[in-house]
Structure 1
């Protein structure tokens, strides 16, 4: 794995291989030839005049994903979105190597032949090649970034292979540049692997391995309903989970219910049904429910672990609101269970049941701003004195999209209510 300088480092390594090919032992060296890394448009300007210089030009004209390398990358994120490993990207680099010089002396052809031989002798960027290339160019203007290159640490070598383009493909490539064609070679560098420089939370190493025997089929959860369908699902209510294989059959495995972020011990367990009470620690709103089979800690410090889990089903946990004694100055105090967590929006709605002057509003609504992150949950909401007019008012609260359900008084909703 390499940092984001690996693409430029691969170009620098290719440039060094070509520089060495110009000074090889083959006969017919081109005097004064160099290797440049110019765009074809800039190279065309360099070659204007009656005495153009001679050399090879390296230009990375295309970068594409290496699909084989991308498949080797393990999933980098957990289900909650946190990083499990550093994200990586595998790339192929496509190069255009152009020869130029005196046409009469056939400089371009002599130089391209040397380039082919040089890449046949050194077809990959080994650690010595990369280190030699960095040492050769790091002192040049604008190349001080080479001090931070770590391409030599990449486990897989970057390899150069000739790429064959048809005449039509070659004409399209040069057509994009908008310059006259020059004799060229195309090579592909496979592959450069870039790794993001971010921190990932890794799991602790495995201390010991244990072999156990358990049922092959995981618990199957079919439905999750309130045990009493006439009562809204709130903290303290009981849930009825139905399905199959819900009771842990593996030796020593306990059946637990995961409700939101909490693991709850059920009130009763059978193979096809589990009853569990919603604890106070569960938040308001949509929560996921699943059945877990967890083995307790074993001998020798073996940790507790989940050996089977069911699919998750959603339930809506509603808030419950009650009326506290008024605060100082007639402040209306409402107690909310469970407490409103930081960042959760809330809205208090009041419906007039009776009283009040004619023309007064029959419905009021007050938004409760979310608490700042890091503050403790709030179980009391205060409405300022005078916010509620004369009369008797039915009170409801909505937290994170879940609304409390009022109680019936006779045949109509009448509680909780406050009189003013």
Structure 2
């Protein structure tokens, strides 16, 4: 593959091609003067007085990216950011071929021979490139590279993947005028060519995987699990009640379609649960919630890892669309009520409560109080309050805990039904024989 020396190598090969063509066709004999081939910028070619000579000048005025190759081998990094390929820098070189001479019609003669030569050689043969860049002997019919250009022999241009092609380009008078105005020199008869494509490859080290020793092909049906509903069961043998709050220790019931597979995983947030095979059918999966799962809203998916390899190993397979469920907290104990202050018929205090399951330090916790009247009387005028809570057992780094502290203020003394809300998941209230809420109760006096 070509190195960064390929651009200069192309110009050198084209110069050799033109120079040998002039010699083979005896252009010097046809014009009666010696003819040279150069590759200088036009402003460095003498164009006045006795300094002007009969010559062809090949000037590369622009380089552009090749549209056909610009997206090959992309991307060149793996997921870890390691370079795995060296993409080609694919370039098109744009040349102006100009003819100079102080003699009448010699410019036209030179340009005619040069255009015929490039027309007859639209592709540069690899062997011709190799000979032209060989040092010290090179060129289509022999010649030498000057000492300051000997490094071109290492460009690798002759061995690149694509061969070098010469394509005529059409420039209108306005484009030519702009170019020669930028050169700030006298205009001479000119034609344009595009040389394509030069493939320059980086020499940076790449990370290459070991060769594949054996190929295993696996064909599996496109079977995507679907979660339709999530319910809960308070204990084995108890009914599955729709819209029942999900509490710690409950059995979670997932109803859906195409849930069964050779391997079934339940993913709750970042936790992976493998249910018992006997608890999995194509339409239902049941499993006991992990004891360390914190209260709050959780995302759940069903995945079917694929077994591949020898011996078989689990690979990422098909996963259902995510669903959510709320694991509700429960107030297990009122630890203490302290710091009671009465003012204007209202009170302030600090309440310490114990909840289950544990709460994470970054969760939002509220205590909700609803005034309680025995028998349900006076409910129309019942007072309601909510207070933000915080964890008691703070540590560094913070860890989940079951104890919370709530500071309440401006509360009318009395009995209140208490609920804990963690990230939107509320603790349940219990009812009496008449279906009226009666616990858990907190008495504030």
When normalised by structure 1's length, the TM-score is 0.59
Residue 171 of structure 2, aligned match among 165, 171, 177? 165
Q: Distance in 2 between matches of 1:230 and 1:180?
A: 91
Residue 306 of structure 1, aligned match among 302, 309, 315? 315
CA contact (8 A) 2:89 2:199 kept: yes
Give the alignment of 1:114-263 within 5 angstroms: 114-135=113-134, 136=138, 139-217=145-223, 248=261, 254-255=263-264
Range with greater deviation from structure 2 (134-143 or 176-185)? 134-143
CA contact (8 A) 1:2 1:150 kept: yes
Structure 1 counterpart of 2:403: 408
Q: CA deviation at 1:64?
A: 0.9
SS at match of 2:179: helix
Structure 2 CA distance for partners of 1:182 and 1:214, relative to 1, 3 Å: same
Give the alignment of 1:337-356 within 5 angstroms: none
Are 2:266 and 1:293 equivalent residues in the alignment? no
Structure 2 counterpart of 1:65: 65
Range with greater deviation from structure 2 (301-310 or 141-150)? 301-310
CA contact (8 A) 1:30 1:107 kept: no
Q: Distance in 2 between matches of 1:245 and 1:74?
A: 37
CA contact (8 A) 2:3 2:200 kept: yes
Q: Distance in 2 between matches of 1:309 and 1:52?
A: 76
SS at match of 1:23: helix
SS at match of 1:181: coil
Q: Distance in 1 between matches of 2:84 and 2:38?
A: 42
CA contact (8 A) 2:72 2:88 kept: no
Structure 2 CA distance for partners of 1:394 and 1:165, relative to 1, 3 Å: same
SS at match of 2:196: strand
CA contact (8 A) 1:30 1:110 kept: no
Q: CA deviation at 1:205?
A: 3.1
Q: Distance in 2 between matches of 1:140 and 1:274?
A: 82
Q: Deviations over 1:141-160 (max 9, x none)?
A: 42132132111111210100
Q: CA deviation at 1:263?
A: 11
Q: Distance in 2 between matches of 1:171 and 1:276?
A: 82
Task: Name structure 1 gaps, 5 residues minimum.
Answer: 223-227, 232-238, 279-288, 314-392, 413-420
Q: Distance in 1 between matches of 2:52 and 2:227?
A: 78
Q: CA deviation at 1:130?
A: 1.0
Q: Distance in 1 between matches of 2:95 and 2:320?
A: 50
CA contact (8 A) 2:88 2:202 kept: yes
Structure 1 counterpart of 2:36: 34
Q: CA deviation at 1:123?
A: 1.9
Structure 2 counterpart of 1:330: none
Structure of greater Rg: 2
Q: CA deviation at 1:94?
A: 0.5
Range with greater deviation from structure 2 (301-310 or 73-82)? 301-310
Are 2:123 and 1:111 equivalent residues in the alignment? no
Structure 2 CA distance for partners of 1:73 and 1:409, relative to 1, 3 Å: closer
Q: Distance in 2 between matches of 1:240 and 1:144?
A: 78
Q: CA deviation at 1:78?
A: 2.6
Q: Deviations over 1:37-73 (max 9, x none)?
A: 1112222xx3343241221111111111111122443
